[in-house]
Amino acid sequence: MAVPSIDVKTSNAPAALTPADALTSAVALRPQLRAEAPEGEARTFHSEELHLEFVERGFYHLLRPKLFGGYEFGVRDFMAVIRELARGDMGAAWCLCLASGHNLQFASWWPESAQREVFGDGHFAAAMTSAPGGTMRRGDSGDWIVNGTFPYASGGPYSTHFMGHVFAETAEQSKQLSTFIIPRSDFTIRDDWGKTLGLKGSGSHTLDVREASVSAHFVLEGKTQVDMNVDNGTPGLELHKNPLYAGRGIGFFGLELASLAVGGVHAALDEYETILRTKKTPMPPFTLRSENSRYQTWYADAVNALAAADATLDRAADLFLEYSTRGAEGGKPFDQADDLYIGRLAVHAQNVAWRALEGIIMRTAGSSAATNGSRLERIWRDATMVLSHQNSIVQDFIGADYAAAALATHP
């Protein structure tokens, strides 16, 4: 792949930004996102010019702590911006979201020494994979030596760092799943993305790590991001004094993917409205579809479905902070059942939007609207990738886990 030539650490983000201003800025960027989407697919990640727009509009700093120059947006406000960007182009928004969103995890779970070293170096964005991709062992100096291959590392082209999971080889335990973070200089990016049906522009390449020496404070030994226990608080809560940095991980990840998916279906609804206003009915009397009661009802049903999906995402995002705050204030800890509930709400919203796309928009827009290269065809392909994403599939497995945990804690 043609690795971006710009310095990925370049940051000219505004000193201050409100959620309302960020949302307005995301909407204003939609024409550029739409225009560049086909080119981004061909390249397999968005352009350097668009990346700089993301940087200069502050989108990488939405979840970054104020202590390190960020805005400390709540999860709900972050997801709202992501939905609007995905309404322009899901692929570019995916690449941004999955790299910028990890500001939250890094600021929550890593020790102050690691945060000061990484955040103090300027712009931060980190690709991450949840599946273990290798191993790490103790080096002669006491640092960890990491080796592994990590596919589907979304956001890699413009990431300053990478977070991954490996099995730590220790004297006490030979297969201890652990989490690490490394700088860009310690990984290489394969030119292997773009073969999937959709999300070809999401920058989800494979990253290779070979003999990377990692200091102990950059490793969370015996901990995984998909099941992070925060019962006793977090380094981020202690450092930043904000419950935002006291949460778990799997529900937030589900919110990211669902926000991208729902934003993409909003884009499909935009296309559908244009079709209704410009095409005539297939049956007499041949009027504009926007004037036909059947098409009007289909449109209304799609609007209602997306309103429900948006509301569900907003509620799930609010629960993240509600549970974090409750635990931070000495109440019931933010536990696994809470985390799984947020994730399942997110996937429910995603599925509501998918059914509107599949059963209304694509079915009634007509085959001519989904020809090769059309925007609706690209949105459809991108949406199918979220539908088949591992996070969506595992919901059928973890539903029982959620129910068991919830029923155990709520007799």
The DSSP output letter for 152 is: -
**Residue range(s) in the chain whose domain bears CATH number 1.10.540.10:** 19-119
- CB of 243 closer than 8 Å to CB of 253: no
What is the arithmetic mean of pLDDT over 37-48?
97
Q: What is the pLDDT of residue 217?
A: 97
Coil, strand or helix at 10: coil
pLDDT at site 173: 61
The pLDDT of 233-246, averaged and rounded, is 98
CATH 1.20.140.10 residue ranges in the chain? Answer: 247-409
> How would residue 13 be classed by pLDDT, with cut points 50, 70 and 90?
confident
| Residue 214 phi, psi (nearest 5) | -120, 125
CB burial of 40-50 (b: ≥16 within 10 Å; e: otherwise) equals: bbebbbbbeeb
Distant-in-sequence contacts of 2-9, Cβ < 8 A, 24+ apart: 2/43, 3/157, 3/189, 4/45, 4/48, 4/51, 4/157, 4/158, 5/48, 6/48, 6/51, 6/52, 8/123, 8/125, 8/158, 8/159, 8/160, 8/184, 9/121, 9/122, 9/123, 9/160
Query: CATH 2.40.110.10 spans which residues of the chain?
Result: 126-222
The per-residue pLDDT for range 331-354, each reduced to its tens digit, is 999 999 999 999 999 999 999 999
Average pLDDT for residues 210-227, to the nearest whole number?
96
CATH architecture classification, 126-222: Beta Barrel (2.40)
Six token digits for residue 226: 């998909």
Is the pLDDT at 9 greater than 70? The verdict is no
pLDDT digits (tens, 9 = 90+) for 350-368: 999 999 999 999 999 999 9
Let me know the angle formed at the C-alpha of 384 by 383 and 385, rounded to the nearest 5 degrees. Answer: 90
pLDDT at 404: 85
Fold annotation for 247-409: Butyryl-CoA Dehydrogenase, subunit A; domain 3 (1.20.140)
State the helix-helix crossing angle for 19-28 and 75-88, rounded to 10 degrees. Answer: 10
| pLDDT above 90 coverage of the chain, percent | 87
Kindly state the average pLDDT of the residues 28-47.
98
DSSP state of 231: T
Nearest to 95 by CA among 31, 27, 41: 41
Tokens of residue 250, six digits: 């799997």
**Whether 376 contacts 369, CB under 8 Å:** yes
Query: Does the structure show a pLDDT above 90 at 80?
Result: yes
Taking only the tens place, the pLDDT of each residue in 166-205 is 999 876 666 799 999 999 999 999 999 999 999 999 999 9
Q: Tens digits of per-residue pLDDT, 290-328? A: 999 999 999 999 999 999 999 999 999 999 999 999 999
CA-to-CA separations, 158 to 3, 29, 51, 184, 379, in angstroms, rounded: 9, 19, 8, 9, 23
How big is the chain by its Cα radius of gyration, in Å?
A: 22
pLDDT at 35 (0 to 100): 98
pLDDT for residue 410: 65
CA dihedral 253, 260, 127, 378 (to 10 degrees): 140
The dotted CATH code for 19-119 is 1.10.540.10
Beta-bridge partner residues of 162: 127, 182
Q: Express each pLDDT in 373-389 by its tens digit.
A: 999 999 999 999 999 88
Please report the pLDDT score of residue 405 as a whole number.
80
Average pLDDT over the chain, rounded to whole?
Answer: 95
pLDDT of residue 361: 98
Amino acid 212: pLDDT:
98
Model confidence at 391, pLDDT cuts 50, 70, 90, reads: confident
Which SS3 state, helix, strand or coil, does residue 173 take? coil
| 3-class state of residue 181 by DSSP | strand
Scanning 329-394, the segments in alpha helix (DSSP H) are 336-356, 362-365, 375-387, 390-393
**Average pLDDT rounded to a whole number, residues 14-30:** 97
**Closest to 64 in 3D by CA, of 227, 245, 226:** 245
